[in-house]
Chain A
Amino acid sequence: MTDQKTTPAISKTKTVTMTGASILWECLEREGVKHVFGYPGGAILPAYDALKHSKIHHVLVRHEQGATHMADGFARASGQVGVAVATSGPGATNMVTGIATAMLDSIPIVCITGQVGSKLIGSDAFQETDITGVTLPITKHNYLVTHASEVARTIREAFYVAGSGRPGPVLVDITKDAQQGSCEFDWEAAKPQLPGYRPDLSPAPQEYEQALALIHNSKRPVILAGHGIIISGAMREVRDFAERAGIPVALTLLGLGALPASHPLNLGMMGMHGEAWVNHTIQEADLLLAFGMRFDDRVTGTLKTYAPNAKKIHIEIDPAEINKNVKVDVPLVGDLREVLLELLPHVESIDRSEWLDHIDKLKGASAVRDIQNLPDSGHLYAAHVINDLWHQTRDGNTIVVTDVGQHQMWEAQYYKHEHPRTLITSGGLGTMGFALPAAIGAKVACPEAEVWVVVGDGGFQMTMCELATLVQENLKIHIAIINNGFLGMVRQWQEFFYERNYQATPLLNPDFARLAEAYGIRSATVSKRSEVVPTVQAARAHEGPMLINFKVEQEDTVYPMVAAGAALHDMIRRPSPIVETADDK
């Protein structure tokens, strides 16, 4: 980013007088930012006025929540810090959901908000909201900037904090007078001053020895592979570790892609809708190696019976995660990649074929329940759509961005991800409406990638205004609406736990195909399995974006399911008649 910065006015030694607004864009450029996602308004207008002198590409969103999800999708796809811009008051509060989404999934984004003039702060001025107060518990850190002279250092600190250690969102609230005011700009002098911020922790030597002893004594170990692998860039090290030690790998939702799905040691996804054999493997294990994951309740089930016979090693960059949910025997606090590089030379190769054979048997027993092995009933199931989509796009450079709900779980089960950053999904917060804007961010970050949105009919309607952004930016993104006419996952919970009392879950939907046409987006509606592949092929061949409305079986259910508060091995499975049908074959 610095090589192309040859602006003659700003040399290393001399300072120039600039407005806070100009300093803002200058600093963003120096941080390597090429795209921002934003929406203008009164208190951020000075910054927008100065945008015309910047090389940064501004993507005009249709709602500020979309801006944060786009910055988030951009960050997840690229590994770089994403940037969202909004005005004060409602512009800033509209960002809250996107910020919380980024916080729970450790995504580095910087949100820049305008604020009323510093003299008006506290007066309930027009469009004044205490956004640093509002976002305090959902940001990694936030700032209120009231003077132009604070802009440069604050932006530098914001990028450093957002992207280092355990990443997260940082909000910078800049008053209107701080944008308008002028001061000397000196990039070199505006170095971050963060005496209390220490993202670089490392384990003590004896902890490595304790971990190695546990690994070498274990007969039934399993690696729990989380998002931290992708954040740390430790894919190679995890693979080397698993292969050398002969240890199978279970993945969290956000860990999918950290190890290729086709790798023989990759078991698949664990947790509430994880594969049955994966959950059984965890429950029967004598050692859990948690790599960059945080024992979320969606992957553990009830803690009382979680992996009862297993010792636990937790490699984690955030010390506050140690012993938070699950008491561990050996914590290794540090960057996952660095910790694994330290461990790897000492890991002994051990024959664990007995354990792996046992897991294979568990796997075989589950396969008969897979909907893919059922005879064609003439109905279109979401799993069919996802499976066909995967077969069609598996050889390409494809990023799938999902929303939240049943389709998200089917995507995780039936789309086999070979590479990191090819599945973008809201895990921790479970934010409906995430998919379309996040996909726009991902496509801006990776224009050469084929981007597919997989979204439910409910979540799509939460942020479908961003179709206009997609068209305005001329982005080729394909949208697969898994349309079952229900808030499907909520309906599933009502089916299991509320006696099929389908309160407020049936949806009246617009004609999504015609809606797309109104935006000038090509569309199709599919309700037969035989039409899935040709329609996906047509979308791929089309030069622009395409929306496909897949009308799937209305009351389909995601199996297996660990009910909230149930033990991980206590799964609701696909009902037995179907199993028998499959067995009879």
Chain B
Amino acid sequence: MLNTFMVYVENKPGVLTRVASLFRRRAFNIDSLTVGRTEKPEVSRMTITVDADRDQARRIEANLYKLVNVLLVENITNQPAIIRDLALIRVAATHDARSHVLELASVFRARVVDVSAESLTIEITGAEDKIDGLLEVLRPYGVLEMVRTGIVAMRRGSKSAASTTESTAQAAANDDVSYSV
């Protein structure tokens, strides 16, 4: 099953390589990995999705913690979370098809961000299945180019991840193995 991890790391050179190398070395296949700045300049945040069973997911978490630059790991797979992917989709849309494509885009609350004689470029943000849905209905018109960012995720509720360090430790303690973080 697909597991989603939020990983807080020190904002230092080479940390992305260390994380990526860990997944390669332990033979876990990354489905998606995004990394970017956070509210703290010294901290970067990764959202990583990996196909792993429950036990593998626990070992991924433990191995991530072994990296000296990793600050906090949360497996949010079974927690209420906001998960967003962003896609740019260039669709073949000559004047006949143009109005249909625009209509579909508005149904999906996507935005047109570029127009040319033969194509429209649509920007869509949302959960992955929503983007998959739009892609599906656009395909008959001809998808000329498409790029996706991979997902970013945040837990729902008022608690920030940084303030939930203790509850994470508690959750880990209730799992098959415990380690205080």
Contacts and interface: CB of A to CB of B under 8 A. Distances in A.
A203 B179 CA distance: 7
B28 interface: no
Contact of A204 (B9, B55, B65, B173): B173
B21 interface: yes
A195 B71 contact: yes
Interface string A198-237: 1001111001000000000000000000000000000000
A136 B21 contact: yes
B19 to A, nearest CB: 11
A437 to B, nearest CB: 27
B123 to A, nearest CB: 35
Interface in A160-214: 161, 194-198, 201-204, 207
A137 B21 contact: yes
A545 B14 CA distance: 47
B177 A333 contact: yes
Nearest to B24: A137
Nearest to B173: A204
Contacts of A315: none
Contacts of A207: 178
A208 to B, nearest CB: 11
Interface in B57-82: 58-59, 62-63, 65-72
B25 to A, nearest CB: 5
Contacts of A327: 55
A197 B65 CA distance: 8
Nearest to B71: A196
A139 B179 CA distance: 23
Contacts of A133: 17
Contacts of B69: 196
B63 A320 contact: yes
Interface string A122-152: 0000000000110011001100100000000
A195 B67 CA distance: 11
Given A132-B14, A204-B178, A323-B59, A318 B68 contact: no
B181 interface: yes
B18 A333 contact: no
A333 B10 CA distance: 25
Nearest to B17: A136
Contacts of B62: 318-320, 322
B68 A203 contact: no
Given A136-B17, A136-B21, A198-B65, A323 B178 contact: no
Contacts of B72: 196
A66 B16 CA distance: 32
Contacts of B67: 196
A161 B67 CA distance: 11
B68 A196 contact: yes
A320 B59 contact: yes
B70 A319 contact: no
Given A137-B25, A196-B10, A202-B180, A324 B59 contact: yes
B65 A319 contact: yes
B129 interface: no
Contacts of B179: 201, 319, 333
Contacts of A132: 14
B180 A136 contact: no
A333 B178 contact: yes
B96 interface: no
A198 to B, nearest CB: 7
Interface in A303-346: 318-320, 322-324, 327, 331, 333
Given A323-B177, A324-B59, A318 B66 contact: yes
Nearest to B25: A137
B170 to A, nearest CB: 9
Contacts of B114: none
B54 to A, nearest CB: 10
Contacts of A202: 180
Given A202-B180, A323-B177, A333-B177, A196 B9 contact: yes
B136 interface: no
29 contacts: A136-B17, A136-B21, A137-B21, A140-B68, A161-B68, A196-B9, A196-B67, A196-B69, A196-B70, A196-B71, A196-B72, A197-B68, A198-B181, A201-B179, A201-B180, A202-B180, A204-B178, A319-B62, A319-B65, A319-B177, A320-B59, A320-B63, A320-B65, A322-B177, A323-B55, A323-B59, A323-B177, A331-B177, A333-B177
Interface of A: 132-133, 136-137, 140-141, 144, 161, 194-198, 201-204, 207, 318-320, 322-324, 327, 331, 333
Leading 6 A-B pairs by shortest Cβ distance:
A320-B62, A319-B62, A196-B71, A201-B179, A141-B68, A204-B178
